[in-house]
Amino acid sequence: MGKLMKIVKKSLFLFFLLLIIGLGYLGYQIRQNVQQVMTYEDEVEQAVKVNNIPEYKNLVLAIIYTESKGQTEDLMQSSESAYGKRQMIGTTKESIDTGVAFLAQSITQANEAGCDIWTAVQAYNFGLDYIQFVKERGGKNSIRLAEEYSKEILSPLLGNNDQKTYRYYRPQALVYNGGFLYSNGGNMFYADIVKMNEQFIKWLK
């Protein structure tokens, strides 16, 4: 019995040691990503002022973190909203200018509809029609509403009529549904992920 206890204690020690190392590495990676995103702070600050949403600078930085971690030219994945297809954005400035303008439009429409800011953020991923959908259901974004929109409206609109899914291993998804998204249905966890990344920006910038 004593030998078994020693093995158990050793196993637990190794487990917690690996857990601490893993969390430390994750924290290091997050900090590195935040520092990369912050290299675009001045451009973001200018863009939010031009679009009359200066109070949302950290939110824009969080969207950059979510979309690219500051590591591609199309920092805010703005190409689809601007051109209707991917990989059309040629510079980081164009991506920021286009992305912030679209976010400002989304925020304006959400405010006019009486919806919360996270409806506007989710609409950055889903498209502006999502705002009316939320307005008709209480005006407050939630994963439940985002899933309904993804499953029932967006994914069929884009060709997924069989409710096909694919694996998605972000913590929000794993907790909510075991880790999946609907094919062609955008990311129903988008607003929650941006919210988390905005905290990283605030803590580590």
Tens digit of each residue's pLDDT (9 = 90 or more) over 61-111? 999 999 999 998 999 998 877 666 777 788 999 999 999 999 999 999 999
Q: What is the DSSP string of 27-85?
A: HHHHHHHHHHHHTTHHHHHHHHHHTT-GGGHHHHHHHHHHHTTT-SSSTT--HHHHHSS
Q: At 183, is the pLDDT very low, low, confident or very high (cuts 50, 70, 90)?
A: very high
Tokens standing for residue 112: 């006019």
16-64: pLDDT as tens digits? 667 677 667 676 787 888 899 999 999 999 999 999 999 999 999 999 9
Query: Structural domain of residue 116, as residue ranges?
Result: 2-139+189-204
pLDDT at site 47: 98
If one counts the domains in the chain, the total is: 1
Instruction: Yes or no: say if 120 and 103 are a contact pair by the CB < 8 Å rule.
Output: yes
Average pLDDT over residues 170-186: 95
Q: Does residue 65 lie in a domain region?
A: yes
Tokens standing for residue 74: 């199309």
d(CA 180, CA 177): 7
Q: Does residue 49 lie in a domain region?
A: yes
Is the confidence at residue 126, as pLDDT, over 70? yes
pLDDT at site 10: 72
- Counts of helices then strands in the chain (DSSP H, E): 11, 2
Q: Which letter does DSSP use for residue 181 in this model? A: E
Q: Does residue 6 lie in a domain region?
A: yes
Tell me the pTM. 0.88
Q: Does residue 101 lie in a domain region?
A: yes
Beta bridge pairs of residue 165: 182
Instruction: Yes or no: say if 62 and 197 are a contact pair by the CB < 8 Å rule.
Output: yes
Q: Does residue 157 lie in a domain region?
A: no
pLDDT at site 25: 63
Q: Does residue 167 lie in a domain region?
A: no
Q: Percent of the chain having pLDDT more than 90?
A: 74
The CATH number of residue 83's host domain is 1.10.530.10
